[in-house]
Chain A
Amino acid sequence: MDFASSFALVAPELVLTAAGLVLLLVVAWGGDKLARTVAIIAAAALFAAGFLTIPGLHSGVDGPDSYAFGTLMKIDSFALFAKALIYLAAIGALMVAPAFFASPAAGKERGMRAEYPVLILFASLGMSIMVSASDFMTLYLGLELNSLAAYVLAAILREDQRSAEAGLKYFVLGALASGILLYGISLLYGFTGATDFASVRTALDGDLSTGQLFGLIFVMSGLAFKISAVPFHMWTPDVYEGAPTPVTAFFATAPKVAAVSLTARVVFEVFGGQVLAWQQIVMFAALASIVFGALGAIGQQNLKRLLAYSSINNIGFILLGLAVATADGASAMLVYLFIYVAMSIGSFVALLMLRSPDGDLYETFADISGLAVTRPAIAWALLIQMFSLAGIPPLLGFYSKFVVFQATVEAGLVVFAAIAIAASVIGAFYYIKFVKVMFFDEPAGLVTGKSGTAHWVLLALCAAIISPLGYLLTPSLTDLADKAAAALFVAI
């Protein structure tokens, strides 16, 4: 494996690195007045990086051809699929930001800080490395690059107490999770003598020793923190509520995709020989996330907090696809991730459009009362998102649950599927509460502010994907997800 072909494989990361470094210098000298230009260039860089993933996605890459820099990175179809999703989500987070930071909701410092796009770029770069890691060192490097950028993003409104609190909480708990993960990695290294996935897998062959089992459990716990699966979900509602809404939209999508993909890669490529050992952990986390995510959301009044619990709930269904431990399950998980990203971005964009005439943001149930009368377009878009999140056909959210449950049942886990789907009814309760407040209650008449074109475009796009029209996408989506999932199983 020569360097030239390695560099060709990591071209998207190179684009992001170059753009990030250059823009950082621009920001250092140019200051905040260039923020908009920097955001546009950052979005262009993300778009270009995304464009570079298309050929590989299309033809399907797996096996030895996909290794870069020895065995440090593995840029296979699976990594490309996750990267494309991450870049899309990051572009979304850039598009919605300027209007938010210009509003009174952003506190005393009006206007977007120019660091915001740069941090998004570095976070995306970190995630990009995470999903293509095939060595625990690369994994940790990507994870920390993403996390450090994310801590700063959560606290980017320096004057705002909630934002600072969210940043601190995220940092402390994130550091704890990284520590746990690192400890697990060190245990695995100690008991296997290697850090690259393939060698660790070979060394783990057969029954796990106690030390190896502890390593597996610590690694899984650290990853569960990052994807905010129950029982490591406590930080999510606080961070989601406190962080600025565009950042919350980013947190709910891109890092979730990256962490879930990373988890999938670790369980299949490292612990692929010990399915029974991790399957029960993932299955428990999946069912617990579905149930607690749904129950926790019921009493919430703050919409961002509610969506945080909803994301925990959704992670449960995604993990259900992972717990199946088949290629079908992994493919279903990727399809779910795609649809989940579209639904999350759509919901958060809609939240960002709930503005007062002077541009302030509303984020509780009382504020959106009777929205269908005052702002019917936003209300209908939110209605589609909510029914889709609840998994009611014919919206695309149903299809995501459909593929996951189909894979679960086909793998013979009928009882788990039955429990999970029964628990999804609890979730429906608060999703339809959204609809009830917007459509059935008397109009509060608060939301009257106008929204920018970028918001409308994103909202319309997400609504179109989620609507039954989205089924037109499913053949190619299924095809890509199948290729990506197959790449995970080449080694096995």
Chain B
Amino acid sequence: MDFPILTVMMLVPLIGAVACLLAAPAARTIALGATLVTFGLGIVLWASYEIGGAQWQFHESYELVAGFSYAVGIDGISLMLIMLSVFLMPICILASWEAITKRVGEYMAAFLFMEVLMIGTFAAQDIFLFYIFFEAGLIPMYLIIGVWGGDNRIYASYKFFLYTLLGSVLMLIAMFWMVAQAGTSDIPTLMQYDFPPGAQLWLFLAFFASFAVKMPMWPVHTWLPDAHVQAPTAGSVILAGVLLKLGGYGFIRFSLPMFPEASADLAWLIFTLSMVAVVYTSLVALVQHDMKKLIAYSSVAHMALVTAGLFAFNVQGIEGAMMIMLGHGLVSAALFLCVGVIYDRLHTREIDRYGGLSINMPFYAVFFLLFTMAAVGLPGTSNFVGEFLALAGIYQASSWVALICTTGIILGAGYMLYLYRRVAFGTQKNEDAAAMPDMTPREWAMMAPIAAVVLWMGVYPESFLAPMRADIAALDAQIAAAAPASEAQLAAGEPRPEAANAVEYESHEGEGEH
């Protein structure tokens, strides 16, 4: 592949961002154009990605300075996450079209910078380049929350910035040590390198500190509800849709392949934290009065399923975790958009201020229902596929963990349906809420594509699993040797001599002789 498509995909939004800063009045159009072009390039990228081809495709590498190089390239896992980012980005711009009125140029520029950094993070093939993209995202997100956020935005932006920074800095020290040890900063080479098991534990913990905060795992999740509630709608969309996936991506790309022994040794820790998160944050979500906070807590619960699936050390678990990440990226983004639609009309996120919206906003209610059902994990929607695979994988590792994680599905149905009932059904108890008009064409344009992909992913997940299959199988083969012993004791039983529902055949002599 001669055309440097990944670099171009980063350059387009970068140029767009600079243009937005310089030509503020036209910023909305420029931003939409740039993100659509990038999405178009993303489709080309997916179309020309060769399934079953080389593990790393579209590779580009330039030596920069002593220390690290500009090296990008993708495998199937990166491809899917890049697609998620570039797909959500134009929708974010549309979501901010009317909601953002002050300093539009800077706002759009921040989003476009964000897009550059997200693509860069998923495509980076040099460990330091990864760190730069990973960490640089703090700057635009800090500004997005702080400048265009809600009333308590300053507290939320500080918390977001310092939490994530503190999480990541130790990872940098670990990276220096790894590079000094292995003599290269190339990620594919490092993935094959065997670090001494004694050091792996420390390295794992340093990376874990970073990814656990980004993920976010209980108990370091507390920045997320604050950041979500205070961020503007599009900020929440990008936060839930893509930024949370950085943690999971980090586990897949670094923790599991580079420190398999330490991952296996500490799988109990991950499982414990995940189980607590599933039950605890689901219960917390159940009692929220703020819609965004409710969805934020549900994100923590879903991400806990991802971590548990990843550390199940088998193909189903990892595939399931990836599918939950993709599905949750779409569904939680769509749910935040749903909140944004009514927030733009009534300027409150209080659940009690709404009610009976299905009467005056029928189309909105349909979309909201679809995404609610998807979040619950209804078969036919994207999340079902992921949750089923992940739980099947977790069950093989530990049936108890699977049992407790499954309660998350039940609780999830509880809080999501409860939310939907209070917002969309019942009587129209608030006059102003009852007077809200239904969705505008712009809002249709935001919702319809996500709805289509959610159904696509639910009905035919093969399109999304196929590019990742070989990479996940390779990862599984690499870590299988270190996999912890399963306590599920899945011994294949003796097959019955006949099928269980076989009816004993009685010979009727002389049948038909009546």
Q: Does B453 contact A (CB under 8 A)?
A: no
Q: What DSSP secondary structure best describes chain A's contact surface? A: helix
Q: Does B143 contact A (CB under 8 A)?
A: yes
**Is there contact, CB below 8 Å, between A392 and B176?**
no
Q: How far is the CA of A276 from the CA of B142 in the complex (A)?
A: 43
Q: Which of B153-179 contact A (CB under 8 A)?
A: 153-154, 157-158, 161-162, 165-166, 169-170, 172-173, 176-177, 179
A403-B67, A478-B66 as given contacts; A425 in contact with B135, CB under 8 Å: no
* A417 and chain B: residue at smallest CB distance: B173
* B134 and chain A: residue at smallest CB distance: A393
**Is there contact, CB below 8 Å, between A432 and B176?**
no
Q: Which residues of B contact A478 (CB under 8 A)?
A: 65-66
The 5 closest A-B pairs by CB, nearest first: A409-B176, A393-B132, A474-B65, A421-B169, A440-B146
A-B contact pairs, 13 of them (CB 8 A): A372-B103, A372-B147, A387-B139, A393-B136, A402-B67, A406-B179, A414-B173, A414-B177, A422-B170, A435-B143, A439-B147, A440-B154, A478-B65
Q: Does B128 contact A (CB under 8 A)?
A: yes
**Interface size, A (range):** 20 to 34
**Is there contact, CB below 8 Å, between B166 and A425?**
yes
Q: What DSSP secondary structure best describes chain B's contact surface? A: helix
Most chain A CB within 10 A, of B103, B133, B177, B179, is at: B177
Q: Does A398 contact B (CB under 8 A)?
A: yes
Q: Using a CB–CB distance below 8 Å, which chain B residues touch chain A?
A: 64-67, 103, 106, 128, 131-133, 135-136, 138-139, 142-143, 146-147, 153-154, 157-158, 161-162, 165-166, 169-170, 172-173, 176-177, 179-180
Q: Which residues of B contact A402 (CB under 8 A)?
A: 67, 128, 172
Q: Which residues of A contact B139 (CB under 8 A)?
A: 387, 392
**Is there contact, CB below 8 Å, between B66 and A417?**
no
**Is there contact, CB below 8 Å, between B162 and A418?**
no
Q: How far is the CA of A372 from the CA of B179 in the complex (A)?
A: 40
Minimum Cβ distance to chain B for residue A455 (Å): 21
Q: Which residues of A contact B135 (CB under 8 A)?
A: 392-393, 398
Q: Which of A465-480 contact B (CB under 8 A)?
A: 471, 474-475, 478
**Is there contact, CB below 8 Å, between A422 and B166?**
yes
Q: Does A405 contact B (CB under 8 A)?
A: yes
Minimum Cβ distance to chain B for residue A103 (Å): 30
**Is there contact, CB below 8 Å, between B165 and A409?**
no
Q: How far is the CA of A10 from the CA of B66 in the complex (A)?
A: 33
**Is there contact, CB below 8 Å, between A436 and B154?**
yes
Partner among A398, A408, A429, A439 whose Cβ is within 8 Å of the Cβ of B146: A439
**Is there contact, CB below 8 Å, between A471 and B64?**
yes
**Is there contact, CB below 8 Å, between B176 and A405?**
yes
**Is there contact, CB below 8 Å, between A398 and B169?**
no
Partner among A372, A408, A425, A475 whose Cβ is within 8 Å of the Cβ of B169: A425
A392-B138, A406-B67 as given contacts; A439 in contact with B169, CB under 8 Å: no
**Is there contact, CB below 8 Å, between B173 and A405?**
yes
Q: How far is the CA of A103 from the CA of B153 in the complex (A)?
A: 38
Q: Which residues of B contact A358 (CB under 8 A)?
A: none
Q: Which residues of B contact A424 (CB under 8 A)?
A: 169
Q: Which residues of A contact B66 (CB under 8 A)?
A: 475, 478
Q: How far is the CA of A429 from the CA of B136 in the complex (A)?
A: 16
Q: Which residues of B contact A408 (CB under 8 A)?
A: 176
Q: Does A428 contact B (CB under 8 A)?
A: yes
**Is there contact, CB below 8 Å, between A435 and B64?**
no
**Is there contact, CB below 8 Å, between A409 and B142?**
no
**Is there contact, CB below 8 Å, between B177 and A436?**
no
Q: Which of A386-434 contact B (CB under 8 A)?
A: 387, 392-394, 398, 402-403, 405-406, 408-410, 414, 417-418, 421-422, 424-425, 428-429, 432
Minimum Cβ distance to chain B for residue A50 (Å): 24
**Is there contact, CB below 8 Å, between A471 and B180?**
no
Minimum Cβ distance to chain B for residue A465 (Å): 15
Minimum Cβ distance to chain B for residue A437 (Å): 10
Minimum Cβ distance to chain B for residue A92 (Å): 25
* A402 and chain B: residue at smallest CB distance: B67
* A331 and chain B: residue at smallest CB distance: B66
Q: How far is the CA of A398 from the CA of B131 in the complex (A)?
A: 11
Most chain B CB within 10 A, of A387, A429, A435, is at: A435
Q: How far is the CA of A428 from the CA of B67 in the complex (A)?
A: 24
Q: Which residues of A contact B173 (CB under 8 A)?
A: 405, 409, 414, 417-418, 421
**Is there contact, CB below 8 Å, between A440 and B147?**
yes
Q: Which residues of A contact B162 (CB under 8 A)?
A: 425, 428-429, 432
Q: How far is the CA of A436 from the CA of B139 in the complex (A)?
A: 12
